[in-house]
Each structure stands twice: as structure tokens, then as C-alpha cells.
């Protein structure tokens, strides 16, 4: 696994050091010194440091607490009895770091940069039903007298061979340690370097969090966005507090109701759709409130501006939704059926989609499914499998006519297909909607904010207009508003 050369046309833009060279550079740095604790997939990371040479000045200790009882004796017992968890990883990193500090005198080693690297991983099972996943992290110093930094990530294996997964984990570990010490000043690039000598079909990184003095200015939500943008994962999620959350943990065995939109900005229509569809969803058979999660989803295609992702714009939308107490998902799924497929990886419970009439009409457009061998029928088989329902919010057409599931217009070729799903109760109307909201369109609200026109505030949920004004979101400028008011 030698040096990689990245090209742009015929021009060399970057040379990627080999895994051996990365490990050797760490080993030859006389100040970097720490421990490796690896559970579940062999001592694959530390192996590279042993083999590259000069490791005696780097490796304080390498251990694998494979036996559960022994692992519990070292790191304590988890309340949920699980071992492949973020909490377990944090305990490993903290304890190993404390041991170094306790056993090595700072007076004797004034220039040492201590670190603890750890992973807790489950590789593929014998039946090959579960491909495996794990938590990987490093806790380390950049200056001897400085507080510790942490980089913690969750991975999912895509390979179907345990030995290959072990090798992949080892390469990732070296990339992480090397990036932590030599690329910490550019976290976005550090993230991309985690895939040096790896392919996206080997490994998925679906959560990452940076903390510590060197990452004080890093917004972990934006780093999550990079995961989706770079194709490292299909979706990332944030809780109402605006923190990164592991999708598998929050979606597991839940009844799920999803609302897709641009939410630019979130309006009273969105919240009315949410409240009324949730009420209907909770009345469905086998849907219990305590086991139900509502997800506001923004697809990456709605974050693009001239082919690039407008990160500030993304932050504004996500923060407003979180301020309303909502869980937000950012995905790269253009089609609705892919959202349902993604959810199905984590739950077999009930699912619902809340959407407007125009979105449903769009779903029945064949052009979105030409890449599928089974075309629109294959997509709809995936979309409406099991008991999935669409809760439909009405709209007024250009003539002021109310459009709902009974009179919406799909392409003539799709009429019978639509009738099938409508007749079988897969599409149901939201009946008790607020008619005042039918005049509210987020595009118009956005235009009014940009142009400083008055009267947009009542179209938004309580408190949202104040946040937009306070932080000057979506192109809001008080001066423009003042000018408009004086006209």
C-alpha cells in the first residue's frame, strides 16, 4: 500500500503518504506517546505501528480486552450490557489517558504529547446477516500543557469478510491518528483523509464529533454535512438540542413519521402538516406515542446553490427546526422511496410520510425512476411496502381550487396506478387543516424577507421571525425593511 497520487487532469495535486509512511512519521516523532486499546477486531491499528519500525518511542501499551468479564473489570460494566457503544469508547479513551498521566512524570517527560487511541467493534457475524459496526476514537494533546482534544466516529462495515473488515479498520485507525496530529488545523480535509487507501464501498462513517481546545470553533453539524457531501454516508441526524446523533440509535424499532421539505424557512404550513399528520398517525393501528419519532428531512439536493452546498443556509434551516423541538435529518436521497428504504434498515414498525399535493404529484412522475430496471413500479413497491401511508396536505391551485387526494392531477398514464394506492388507503387526506395556511408559500416568504417587504412574520411559527431578525437569516437586512416601510 504505497504512496497514492491524486490527479486533476494531468496535474498532480496531492501525494498521499502510504500507511507505512504515516505510521513511521508518528513513530519518529519523539514527543508522540500513548496507548492503543482495541476490542473486537484484533489489534489491527497498532500492528501498523509495530511493523513500520521505531515504535518503542510511541507505543506505551497495546491491549485487547476481548473477554467480556475482563473488559468489564478494566472499564466497568455498561448499564445496557452492550460493548460496542460510544459510552464504552469514551471510558476506554479516558481511562487509558489517565493511566499514562498517573504513571509518567511530567517533570521527566516535559515535551511528551500523550494520546489514547481506542476502538470497540463488532465485525460481520458467521451468518453474514449483520455486516458489523463500531466506534473509533482518539484523545490527544497538541501541546504538553494543553487540555486534550477528542475525535470520535462511528463506522459501518460494507465488506462481507471479517478479515477484510479488520484490515480496513487498521487503515482507518492509522489515518485517524495521523490526521489528528498533522491535519487538526483543517478538520474538513482531515475528514477526507480518513479514506486514504480506502474506498467508500469498504466503509461508511455515519457520525463524527470533534471536541477540545483545537476544535473549539468546529461545528459538528457542519462536519456531519461533510460526511453526506463527500459520500461517506447517506444521512446524518441532529436532535432538538442541535447535537449530532447516531441514526441507528434514534431510529431503532421506532414508528416513524417523516416530513420532507426545503424549510427555507419553516412556515406555519409545515407545522400544521406536522401536528395534524402526527395526530392521524398516532391513531393508526400499533402506533404508540412513546415509540414514535417525527423526522424533518432535508435532502442534499435542496442544499445546493450553483452546484455547491450553501453551508450557512443549511445551518439556518436546521437551527430553526431544532429550535421548534424537532429532530432533523440531512440525506442525499432524491427520491422518497430511498428515504423509506433507509428507515427500513433500522425499524420494521409503522411508517408515514406527510407531504403536500404538489409533492405527491411529483412522485408519480416517471422521469425519476428511469435508472431502475423495474421503473416506477419498482420504486412504488419499495415506497408503499408494508403499511406505509401518505398523509396528504391540500393546496390551492392557480385558479383557487382546493386540490386534495380526490381531484389531484397525475399524468394520464399514472391515473390507474394512483387510483390503486388511493383505493387501498395508502393515501389519506389531512382533513382538519388550517385553511389560513393555504395562502402561505415558503418561496414567497423568502422573497419577502430578501426584499424587506412587511407582513411575512405571521406566516411563521411563534418565535421563528425573531430568530431570523436577530441573526439576519435568509438575507434579512433591517435597513432594507426600513426602506420598504418608508415607501
For residue 267, the model assigns a pLDDT of: 95
CA distance 248 to 60: 35
| pLDDT band at residue 461 using 50, 70 and 90 as cut-offs | very high
Q: Is the pLDDT of residue 57 over 70?
A: yes
Q: Is the pLDDT of residue 7 over 90?
A: no
Whether residue 139 contacts residue 93, with contact meaning beta carbons closer than 8 Å, is answered with yes
Instruction: Dump pLDDT digits (tens) for 289-319.
Output: 999 999 999 988 655 444 566 777 887 898 8
For residue 6, the model assigns a pLDDT of: 56
For residue 66, the model assigns a pLDDT of: 76
Q: Is the pLDDT of residue 487 over 60?
A: no
Least confident stretch, 182-186, 340-344, 385-389: 385-389
Domain boundaries defined on the chain: 19-218, 249-437, 442-486
For residue 79, the model assigns a pLDDT of: 77
Percent of the chain with pLDDT over 70: 93
Instruction: Dump pLDDT digits (tens) for 392-402.
Output: 999 998 888 99
For residue 305, the model assigns a pLDDT of: 46
pLDDT (mean) for 204-232: 94
What CATH class does 249-437 carry?
A: alpha beta
Answer with the residue of higher pLDDT: 162 or 314: 162
For residue 242, the model assigns a pLDDT of: 87
Least confident stretch, 61-75, 156-170, 254-268, 404-418: 61-75
Instruction: Dump pLDDT digits (tens) for 79-126.
Output: 777 888 999 999 999 999 999 999 988 888 899 999 999 999 998 876
Assigned CATH for 19-218: 3.90.950.20
> What pTM value is reported for the model?
0.88
Amino acid at each position: 500500500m504505497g504512496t497514492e497520487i491524486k490527479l486533476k487532469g494531468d496535474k498532480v495535486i496531492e501525494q498521499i503518504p502510504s500507511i507505512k509512511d504515516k505510521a513511521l512519521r508518528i513513530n519518529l516523532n519523539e514527543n508522540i506517546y500513548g496507548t492503543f486499546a482495541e476490542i473486537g477486531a484484533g489489534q489491527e491499528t497498532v500492528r501498523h505501528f509495530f511493523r513500520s519500525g521505531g515504535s518503542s518511542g510511541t507505543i506505551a501499551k497495546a491491549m485487547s480486552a476481548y473477554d467480556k468479564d475482563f473488559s468489564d473489570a478494566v472499564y466497568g460494566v455498561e448499564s445496557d450490557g452492550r460493548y460496542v457503544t460510544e459510552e464504552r469508547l469514551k471510558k476506554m479513551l479516558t481511562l487509558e489517558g489517565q493511566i499514562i498521566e498517573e504513571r509518567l512524570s511530567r517533570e521527566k517527560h516535559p515535551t511528551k504529547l500523550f494520546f489514547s487511541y481506542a476502538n470497540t467493534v463488532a465485525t460481520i457475524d458467521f451468518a453474514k446477516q449483520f455486516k458489523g459496526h463500531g466506534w473509533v476514537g482518539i484523545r490527544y494533546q497538541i501541546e504538553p500543557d494543553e487540555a486534550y482534544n477528542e475525535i470520535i466516529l462511528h463506522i459501518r462495515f460494507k465488506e462481507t469478510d471479517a478479515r477484510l473488515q479488520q484490515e480496513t479498520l487498521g487503515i482507518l485507525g492509522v489515518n485517524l491518528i495521523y490526521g489528528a496530529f498533522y491535519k487538526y488545523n483543517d478538520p474538513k480535509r482531515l475528514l477526507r483523509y480518513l479514506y486514504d487507501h480506502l474506498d467508500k464501498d469498504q466503509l461508511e462513517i455515519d457520525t463524527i464529533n470533534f471536541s477540545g481546545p483545537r476544535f473549539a470553533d468546529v461545528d459538528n453539524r457542519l462536519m456531519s454535512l461533510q460526511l453526506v457531501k463527500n459520500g461517506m454516508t447517506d444521512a446524518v441526524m441532529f436532535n432538538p438540542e442541535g447535537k449530532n446523533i447516531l441514526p441507528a440509535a434514534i431510529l431503532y424499532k421506532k414508528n416513524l413519521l417523516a416530513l420532507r421539505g426545503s424549510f427555507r424557512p419553516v412556515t406555519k404550513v409545515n407545522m400544521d402538516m406536522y401536528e395534524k399528520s402526527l395526530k392521524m398517525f398516532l391513531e393508526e393501528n400499533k402506533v404508540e406515542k412513546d415509540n414514535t419519532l417525527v423526522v424533518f428531512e432535508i435532502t442534499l439536493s435542496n442544499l445546493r446553490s450553483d452546484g455547491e452546498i450553501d453551508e450557512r443556509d443549511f445551518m439556518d434551516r436546521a437551527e430553526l427546526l431544532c429550535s421548534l423541538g424537532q429532530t432533523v435529518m440531512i440525506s442525499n436521497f432524491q427520491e422518497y422511496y430511498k428515504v423509506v428504504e433507509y428507515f427500513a434498515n433500522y425499524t420494521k414498525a409503522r411508517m408515514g410520510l406527510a407531504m403536500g399535493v404538489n409533492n405527491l404529484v411529483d412522485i408519480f412522475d416517471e422521469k425519476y425512476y428511469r435508472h431502475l430496471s423495474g421503473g416506477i413500479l419498482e420504486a412504488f413497491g419499495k415506497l408503499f411496502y408494508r403499511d406505509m401511508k401518505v398523509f396528504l396536505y391540500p393546496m390551492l391551485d392557480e385558479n383557487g381550487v382546493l386540490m386534495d387526494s380526490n381531484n389531484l392531477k397525475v399524468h394520464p398514464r399514472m391515473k390507474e396506478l394512483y387510483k390503486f394506492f388511493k383505493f387501498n388507503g395508502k393515501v389519506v387526506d389531512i382533513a382538519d387543516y388550517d385553511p389560513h395556511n393555504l395562502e402561505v408559500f415558503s418561496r414567497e416568504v423568502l422573497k419577502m424577507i430578501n426584499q424587506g417587504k412587511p407582513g411575512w412574520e405571521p406566516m411563521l411559527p411563534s418565535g421563528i421571525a425573531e430568530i431570523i431578525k436577530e441573526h439576519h437569516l435568509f438575507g434579512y437586512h433591517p435597513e432594507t425593511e426600513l426602506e420598504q416601510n418608508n415607501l
